Structure 1
Amino acid sequence: MIEDSKISYVELPGQDLPATKAFYSKAFGWTFTDYGPTYAAFGDAGLDGGFQADPEAGLTKPLVVLFARDLEAMEAKVIASGGEIIVPIFSFPGGRRFHFRDPSGNELAVFTESQ
């Protein structure tokens, strides 16, 4: 069960998605689910995650993704605590999320599942 306010997912850059998938599959036995030509979720890695190859997504560092049952309430909490919203709430296959920057400049995201 996914817990509120806990790390749930990690996204990594994957500019060469076929080579990246081949490497992690061969080296570590990870499995993949493709969500279009520029995104692959990985499994069998100990923590859920995915590789983002879309250059427009601008992902150049790992992205830690937290879970929230109430996305709008968590967004308000992030703002009230001094976080800066850098990508407003948007929908993606399976849910919705937003990205924020913490006071040290780290980018993280918070997601909720589709209802």
Structure 2
Amino acid sequence: MSTYHYGNVNGPAGYGDHGRAGLGNGELDLETLMDVADRLTETLNAEYPELVGQGEIIQRELALSAEDGLPPNRGRIRSALENVAIRAAAGTGSLTFTQQLTYALGL
């Protein structure tokens, strides 16, 4: 499994210790990225059901990366994250997870 080095990612309250995603030294592995994508999709389902498909795109791209060992398709992920960011209101979990993934992937 690949390890992605993207620095620290701050999360919403209750996500990891002291708002951090439990990343230790700041490195995000693919498993952690997939977990954040799963949480994004779950949160979208509750807050913006019409955007669940965008979360599923991100999940699918990360799962494909896990299967083939190649980096995820950043263009597809970026487009999906932008679609969510445009619609999600400030202070929502959806926007928080979107920002985490955007930062973690350097988009």
TM interval, short-chain normalised: under 0.3
Higher relative contact order (CA 8 A, sep 6+): 2
**TM-score, length-normalised on structure 2?**
0.26
Larger Rg: 1
* Structure 1 or 2: more strand by fraction: 1
